[in-house]
Chains A and B, each alone.
Chain A
Amino acid sequence: MSRPKNKPVHISCENSRQRGAGTLLAWLLLGVCVIFGVALAVGGAGGGVSALWALLDGGGDPLLGRVIVELRLPRVAGAMAVGALLAVSGVLMQTLLRNPLADPYVLGLSGGASCGAILALAAGASGIWVDGGAWLGALATMLVVFGLAGGPGGWERGARLLLTGVVVASGWGAAVSFLLYLMPDERLRGALFWLMGDVSRGTDPRLALGVLALVVGLVWPFSRALNLLAGGPDRAAALGVAVTPLRVMLYLLSSLAAASAVATAGSIGFVGLVTPHLLRLAGCGDHRVLLPASALLGGGLLTLADLLARTVIAPRQMPAGILTALLGAPLFLWLLRRSGR
């Protein structure tokens, strides 16, 4: 190129960028800790920060202590894990499908998992089999959506993919309605949980937390490959990424994450879509930062939503999934409009 003869000046902006990413993660971590503390301290049985301190000190009201440890802690930890799983699953699907509007809820994975779980319930299964049903449902949906929207170059077609997801999701909705209609009344209430998205079921959050650690732990080392994959499979392959095994891994792990989230808390919408999107808008496109930041922000958002859901209309509670969908639907429409320009 014709250019002035002076040597290029290399001003490194790398250090400031790394500092920026570190600051972002530190703020998110701080925010999550605050939300975690507040969610533990606030509730119908009372509490407050003083009760939390007393509990940590080994004293305080023993009854309140039990409420906090046995009721609130699993619920808050569960909300954290589910929000983080949904957000991470959203990041992985968006990268895999190269579509910023992909998420487990929009693509019908949540619906498939709900349907699998309700089918298992209807068959009289319980415990781990219900979770297994949820996972199979999510996996089957992923296969259907990828298969139908796929084909050569098909994954790139955003409209086709979203349409497939929407149609599959509504199909699952009909299947779930049919199952609920047939279900005996005494089982109905338990099955409804899968539709609403609620972290109050009191499921042991350890499975979800374990899956979260597994998924993030397995995917994070591939962050640089994910950065390339976001630019298209051909480009990633041309720069040395083994695309097919990476895609299979992402497919399995994003399904596992979504299914575990649904198995823990039912079908919760929009956390998986909005969280990565907000971070990307904030200029956080590098998966090395995006993955942990999404986990933190998603966990924090869902915990906050659950906190609001159980305090806004106290003493009554509502499922957190209703709140995320109420807030998420307009936000999604806004994002869709923005991306259409």
Chain B
Amino acid sequence: MTPPLLTLEGVELGVGGRRFCENLHWSVSPGECWGVLGPNGAGKSTLLHALAGLRPVEAGTIRLQGTPIETLSRRAVARSVGILFQDQEYPFPATVLETVRAGRYPHRPFWSGESAEDQRLALTALWETGLEGFDARRVESLSGGERRRMEAATLLVQSPRVWLLDEPTNHLDLGHQIALLELLLRKSRGQQGAMILVVHDINLAARFCDRFLFLFGSGESCQGTGEEMLQEALLTRLFRHPMRAAHFGEARCWMPL
């Protein structure tokens, strides 16, 4: 069995007196794709930020390939963990190519500039996300969906092993949602990585994720395989709204009543 990429031991997470998870034990192994589901304000984004080492946990330890994440340098973490933020602002003018190429930063020595290889990787990532020809465009001139794909391209260029995606399908049309997730999943599997996905669309999550972590917003959490977790009663309790499964032959689709 391959050693896990991420291990959480008794992690407690909260903001301003609110508890998002208590005593969370969780391990993420190569090849897995996890869906993190929960109501608004349940701490899904906070959890992703903690997994990327961007915020401390209140108790417990997060280990990245066996090493406590807070003892690693930012650069070392960034080589292994990449995150697609829920929202991203661009206060200063920059071109798409510059922004995407910045994903190579953790892989380059401090003193060196970008190499021809970085350039090639950035252009390839733009091509893969359907943004070829956008390299000289200004970020502020992009539409919401184009910007989202550019951010995904940055993540491709960073090419981490743990891919943390915070509502990656924001601003994307249906076709792009599925195409982007397929691309990211293929890339993460290609390098023996794992993907952790925060989404609100249960059907999208069910399509891509094989395991789930539910955060109830009260500090309670539970985890398991898709088979175990995608149950009417559990989802109803999670979203505090009655949920039903509809069957179309082999396929299953989740609907709020």
Do chains A and B interact in one complex?
Answer: yes
B129 touching A1 by the CB < 8 A rule? Answer: yes
Closest chain B CB from A235 CB (angstroms): 6
The contact string, 1 if C-beta is below 8 Å from chain A, for chain B 150-179, is 000000001000000000000000011001
A221-247 residues at the B interface, CB under 8 angstroms: 221, 224-225, 227-228, 230-232, 234-235, 237-243
B116 touching A12 by the CB < 8 A rule? Answer: yes
Instruction: Given A3-B127, A232-B89, A240-B78, decide whether A10 and B119 contact each other with a Cβ distance below 8 A.
Output: yes
Query: Quick one: closest A residue to B176, CB to CB?
Result: A1
A285 part of interface (Cβ distance < 8 Å): yes
Give bound CA distance, A225 to B106, whole Å.
10
Query: Quick one: closest B residue to A18, CB to CB?
Result: B113
Give bound CA distance, A286 to B97, whole Å.
12
Residues in B with CB closer than 8 Å to A241 are 74, 105
Helix, strand, loop or mixed for chain A's interface? loop
B87-113 residues at the A interface, CB under 8 angstroms: 88-95, 97-99, 102-103, 105-106, 110-111, 113
Number of interface residues of B (CB under 8 A): 53
Give bound CA distance, A199 to B110, whole Å.
38
Residues in B with CB closer than 8 Å to A288 are 113
Indicate the member of B79, B92, B95, B106 with the most A CB atoms within 10 Å.
B92
Residues in B with CB closer than 8 Å to A280 are 92-93
B92 touching A100 by the CB < 8 A rule? Answer: yes
Give bound CA distance, A3 to B129, whole Å.
9
Closest chain B CB from A340 CB (angstroms): 13
Closest chain B CB from A82 CB (angstroms): 25
Instruction: Given A8-B127, A238-B83, A242-B73, decide whether A230 and B106 contact each other with a Cβ distance below 8 A.
Output: no
Contacting residue for A235 out of B88, B92, B132, CB 8 A: B88
Residues in B with CB closer than 8 Å to A240 are 73-79, 105-106
B74 touching A234 by the CB < 8 A rule? Answer: no
A238 touching B54 by the CB < 8 A rule? Answer: yes
Give bound CA distance, A234 to B132, whole Å.
27
Residues in A with CB closer than 8 Å to B136 are 13
A181-224 residues at the B interface, CB under 8 angstroms: 221, 224
The contact string, 1 if C-beta is below 8 Å from chain A, for chain B 177-202, is 00110010000000000000000000
A283 part of interface (Cβ distance < 8 Å): yes
Instruction: Given A1-B129, A238-B78, A283-B93, decide whether A228 and B105 contact each other with a Cβ distance below 8 A.
Output: yes
Give bound CA distance, A280 to B92, whole Å.
8
A99 part of interface (Cβ distance < 8 Å): yes
Contacting residue for B179 out of A2, A12, A94, A232, CB 8 A: A2
Give bound CA distance, A22 to B184, whole Å.
38
The contact string, 1 if C-beta is below 8 Å from chain B, for chain A 78-105, is 0000000000000000100011100000
Give bound CA distance, A147 to B149, whole Å.
36
Closest chain A CB from B84 CB (angstroms): 9
B254 part of interface (Cβ distance < 8 Å): no
Closest chain A CB from B68 CB (angstroms): 17
Give bound CA distance, A18 to B116, whole Å.
13
Closest chain A CB from B178 CB (angstroms): 10
B85 part of interface (Cβ distance < 8 Å): yes
B70 part of interface (Cβ distance < 8 Å): no
A57 part of interface (Cβ distance < 8 Å): no
Which 10 A/B pairs are nearest by Cβ-Cβ distance?
A: A240-B78, A240-B106, A8-B127, A240-B75, A1-B130, A1-B179, A242-B74, A239-B105, A238-B83, A98-B91
Sample of 7 further A-B pairs with CB below 8 A, known A13-B97, A231-B99 = A1-B180, A221-B110, A221-B111, A224-B102, A232-B89, A240-B74, A285-B94
Q: List 21 A-B contacts (CB under 8 A).
A: A1-B176, A1-B180, A3-B128, A3-B130, A10-B119, A10-B123, A12-B116, A14-B116, A98-B89, A158-B91, A224-B113, A228-B105, A230-B92, A231-B99, A231-B102, A234-B49, A235-B88, A238-B82, A239-B78, A241-B74, A243-B74
